[in-house]
Amino acid sequence: MNRELFLRTVLRRMTRFKGRALLMSLGVIVSVLATVLVTSLSGTVRSAFDGFIGRLYPDDGITLVAGSSFMGGGLGRDNLRVKDVAAVAAALPAIAAWDPQSSAGPRDIKVEDRNTRVVVVGYSERHADVRRQSVSQGAFFTADEVAARSRVALLGSTTARVLFGDTSAVGATLFIDNVPYRVQGVLESLGMSPHGDDLDELIAVPYTVVMDSLVKVDFVRAASFRVAHAEDVEAVAEQIRAILRQRHDIRSGQRDDFTVVTPRQMHEMVASTFRTLNLFVVLICAAGFLVSALVLLAVMLASIRQRTPEIGLRKAVGADLGHIRDQVMCEVTVIAATGCALGIVLAYPLVAVIAPLLAAKFGFTGATISLNAIIIASASALVTGVLGALWPALRAARLNPVDALHAR
């Protein structure tokens, strides 16, 4: 058959039956659009989580959490003392610095006639060195201020903006539970967490003030260590476990009343979570394309039944099995390709609308459509077209011309 005539015939039939072509392509459009969006945005989300973990758990850092569960609950949540953390640091020369952390939870904050509630946390003077967060304005705590339980405060950038607007907060006085504190600085911004939490909406005071004045406890919730050499982190983590088990008199076979977290553990946790997420994404997208293939199959079978006399006439005048099969396959493939192209085109403005929302709400920046997402969606659409066309094409090709000419 003449190739140009063949293609003209296929396109003429598509334009003649626009409603049917639209119905057949609709599932492909939606499936491609969903695949491109989900695949591209999942990559953006993964990058955001990796960056978040990298900031909170630097490669040379180890986090010690009170309690037998990762979130600080369970057995022994009140058993971690500052002297435990200090003893660990003193016993291990590989530890370059350490920083205990405590929290007073949300507290009433007042500045002149403005009132709000903000989470108050406790840091030491080593926080900037260990946690890699210094101040953008003013100065950090000093060791003397921490030891003297001085009422000084560092504001997260969001808190500083809410309480002081465009005015510098350094040197101002604020009240925490009606007790005055002098604002000594504004912390460097950490931005949004992938969970949508504003990491800059807090007030930091010396951890000694939190323990002795705000919550009145003799234990801390967590501590961070900075290891001199990043390659020693895992070995040092095991040594920390051994020392704390001995200090807390934990016998063999008994569960730890603390949790030691390393960057590798956190990255493995994120990787495991996204492997599960990616599996669900694949299943959802595959289900969408499967439904699209079934729609193509059903609509094309109905079309073949309507065109039975036409197919019989063509076979009677010399069209062979390959010509009939190729025409049906080509029709469905062109429809699938058109739907794929429309789905990809529609994805761009949709991502342009979604990207600012993700950045504002969750801190997911750089949301773009990836080439891998387009390739995956296009390949899936092609497979969908082939699956949807194969049985109708074979059925049309195998029609007996005599029986087809007499069909009604």
pLDDT at 385: 78
Same domain, 24 and 150: no
Same domain, 256 and 272: no
pLDDT at 404: 47
CB count within 10 Å of CB 16 equals 9
Same domain, 174 and 234: yes
pLDDT at 9: 58
- Mean pLDDT, all residues of the chain: 82
pLDDT at 97: 93
Same domain, 121 and 246: yes
The pTM for the full model equals 0.71
Q: Which of 197, 226, 261 corresponds to the end of one domain?
A: 261
Give the chain's residues under pLDDT 50. Answer: 1-2, 404-405
pLDDT at 316: 59
Q: Which of 261, 279, 294 corresponds to the end of one domain?
A: 261
Same domain, 300 and 346: yes
Same domain, 326 and 207: no
Same domain, 95 and 230: yes
pLDDT at 324: 64
Same domain, 168 and 292: no
Same domain, 122 and 194: yes
Same domain, 186 and 217: yes
Question: Six-digit token pair at 47?
Answer: 């990058």
pLDDT at 199: 86
Contact 62, 69 (CB under 8 A): no
Same domain, 237 and 101: yes
